[in-house]
Structure 1
Amino acid sequence: MLSSNILLSLVSLVATTTSAGKVFTGAAYTVNTLAVGNSAEGKFTLSFLVKDPEPLAPTTATCGTTWTGPAFPTQWIPCETNSVDFKLNSFKDIEDFEIQVKHSYRDPSVGKPPQDKVTTFAQAAFSAPENLTCSDSSCTLTVKGSALLPVWAAVA
């Protein structure tokens, strides 16, 4: 566990700087719709629409998953758009969870193919009543209508 935390810290530190020493300043992703629910049988569902405004590859993707029981999926899950994946960093219940999203695209300024691939990572916490409105068994985004997922790393 310690070595993976050190590796993640190192990747984050290295990934947020370019060879010229500039700090990466990617625009936040936006989640425009989100729904999470729990059935009486203990089946959870999560679906959301995420947008990355990256000028080289602006993308909107529909993402979602289902699982049964308290053990939520922790692996990367592909969204309907092949270049976008997501995972749950944490899931206490439908009123308290964190999503991480990654978007991969080509940027000719970082190298020639196949070294021109860039992946940005963004994440945000969702909780009621901060950005979720909930009933007994489901939650959606609040009236504000969207949530920002700040980009925290980029890897080329």
Structure 2
Amino acid sequence: MEPTTAALVILFVLVALLAAAGAGLLRRVKELELATYNGVGVQLPQESLSIRRPGATTLVAKINRRCPVCDDVVENIARLAPQLPGDVGFTVVSDDPAFDKALPENVRVITDAKVWNSINVPYTPALLVVDEHGVIVFTTPAGSGEAVAALVERAAARKESSL
């Protein structure tokens, strides 16, 4: 085989592998995008209705006891919760029955395993916006404490736009 032909064959194989990797990556991105919107527009299950505050928008943080990012999320909730308007509140849902993080009084903490399991998002930590009727209007992974700040801004903008 000539060197030029061999180089072309190798180049073709490398391009085919790159295309396959790109297709796989695109599929994973689409799966993540679908997972982000999982549950949006859905009424909370009956066992989760204790999460919402009637007549108020509820920002829900679903956290896990074995999650190092969750500590950053909880710290930011503690920092931002006192600044929330009266018609917006935080609820932290944890799978840890011995949850003992310091949070302001206006943050509800739910450690019921049934409630934690009923929040059907495929990632933890997760942030959700639940309207006053118990309908999930937004979900997102909480990859950092900054995600909490962005969620608070989004909820405030949602409230202003609905006035």
The normalised TM-score by structure 1 is 0.21
Structure number having the greater helix percentage: 2
The normalised TM-score by structure 2 is 0.20
Which has the bigger relative contact order, CA under 8 A and spacing at least 6?
Answer: 2
